[in-house]
Amino acid sequence: MPTTDELMDDGNTALAIGELDEAAKCFRQVVEQEPQFQDGWHALSMALYKLDRYEESIEAGKRAAQIDPNNQFVWSSLSLAYNANKQKAEAEAAGAKARIISWGGKIKPESLDVDSGGPNPT
């Protein structure tokens, strides 16, 4: 069985050359092997986004946000997926979280509500 690093490399290579289904497959294997690996969930989310599978992308992005609620890139990616899925309020809330983090703010993990824009800055 390939290691997580090997799967991430294979997924990133597939993503780079446009083999999106293969990339999603690799990243899904990564998170099956390491369910708390935030980068794996984020990569899966982006591969699904590129496949126009927005609801699945959002779910993977939410898992990444739950693991590390202070990752600006995760919230930016979630904002893209929500916007593509025509969920404007959620897209704006996720984008606001990304900006708060970029300004040095933090999202409280105990108040994380990735559906309603609920993480409160501290």
pLDDT reported for residue 1: 87
Dihedrals φ, ψ of 78, to 5°?
A: -60, -40
| pTM, entire model | 0.87
Report the chain's mean pLDDT, rounded to a whole number. Answer: 91
Could you tell me the CATH number of the domain that includes residue 70? Answer: 1.25.40.10
Higher-confidence residue: 35 or 113? 35
Answer whether residue 36 is part of any domain: yes
The whole domain housing 73 covers 4-111
Maximum CA extent, the chain: 42
Q: Give residue 108's pLDDT band: very low, low, confident or very high (50, 70, 90).
A: confident
Q: Is the pLDDT of residue 122 over 70?
A: no
Identify the three-state secondary structure at position 107: strand
Answer whether residue 63 is part of any domain: yes
Alpha carbon distance 23, 25 (integer Å) = 5
Answer whether residue 117 is part of any domain: no
Q: Is the pLDDT of residue 112 over 80?
A: no
Answer whether residue 58 is part of any domain: yes
Answer whether residue 122 is part of any domain: no
